[in-house]
Amino acid sequence: MGILFLAAWGRSLEAAPAQTAAFPRIVTLFQGATDSALALGVVPVGSVVAWENPPLYPYWGDRIEALKGAPPVHWLGLETQPNLEEIAWLQPDHIIATSFRHTQIMGLLGDIAPVQSVADVYDFKATLQAVARATGQQKKAQHMLCQWDHQVADLRAQLKRTLGDAWPPRVAVVNIRQDHVRLYYHGFAGAILDEVGFRRPAADEGERWGIKLTSREAIPALEADVIFLFMDKQNPQVRQTYQRWREHPLWQQLTAVRRQAVWPVDRVAWSLGGGWLAAEQVMTDLYRLYGLDQPAFEACPYAVEGSVHEAH
């Protein structure tokens, strides 16, 4: 069954589609909210577009396609500037927003529908819980969080056994841009790595999000046992920047480079997605990169009616 994706701009404001099921109609206004809604089996009636290849990331499309009978998704513009008129037209039951992006319009959003607001745009656990509250799926979310805790504990235990005295290694999350390189201390991937128990780079400066490195002479700031690296591979300027930095003698002196532990990872999963499904992919990548078995976890209590709830 094909899925219909509707642009949110350039059309007359005809009557909004009627609600055809008992589940709440939600609008998601940041990437992690859309991701987490889909993780719960809920297709938003409206969503902001993806940062890369808008309107949607391929894994969003795959999940929507899997939810047979899902309603059309109305795209509401950028996360930083959602279309308020379109949101009102959709007549949602709940809006999932973030104070990180939407503080100035929070009052206007509240005039449209009740708002579930998350402080940190990359806090995938808080986002999952916010979407669960809006859609009545708190028990399912509790089950997912329980499974996550089991998975984190298992990965940490396997890494300790595998690495021995080398646990915990220092790891760096590095993003190659057109004209600079970013080293992340905090954020989405950093929070997951912290929870597993990895150490941050020696250059970590406390509560700062990270640093921008504009000169290759700053390469020593990337010193770590392992580098998780992502970039826009389709951008020739980004590829050129990466090549220039790799050729520098200081790059060759990095521990991760000498140990062949510069590991490419997916930019959407490790940075842009920001939700539950993306977090699960980061965990899968960690198991894979360290050559570990990733077991299924079914030991958590879970009791809801039905396995998938869809918002229509």
Greatest Cα-to-Cα distance within the chain, rounded to the nearest angstrom: 65
Are β-strands 73-75 and 46-47 bridged in parallel, bridged antiparallel, or unpaired?
parallel
**CA 52 – CA 49 distance, rounded (Å):** 9
When pLDDT is averaged across residues 212-225 and rounded to a whole number, the result is 96
Q: Which residue among 115, 143, 171 closes a domain?
A: 143
Specify whether 135 is located in the same domain as 154.
no
User: Given CA atoms 85, 91, 97, 99 in this order, what sign does their dihedral have?
Assistant: positive
When pLDDT is averaged across residues 140-164 and rounded to a whole number, the result is 96
Specify whether 120 is located in the same domain as 153.
no
Q: Is residue 296 part of a domain?
A: no
Specify whether 62 is located in the same domain as 177.
no
CATH number at residue 86: 3.40.50.1980
When pLDDT is averaged across residues 231-235 and rounded to a whole number, the result is 94
Specify whether 32 is located in the same domain as 138.
yes
Specify whether 34 is located in the same domain as 112.
yes
When pLDDT is averaged across residues 102-121 and rounded to a whole number, the result is 95
Q: Is residue 302 part of a domain?
A: no
**In this structure, are residues 289 and 263 in contact, taking their beta carbons and an 8 Å threshold?**
yes
Q: Which residue among 143, 169, 185 closes a domain?
A: 143
Specify whether 127 is located in the same domain as 238.
no
Residue-range definition of the domain harbouring residue 253: 149-289
The total number of structural domains that make up the chain: 2
Read off the pTM: 0.88
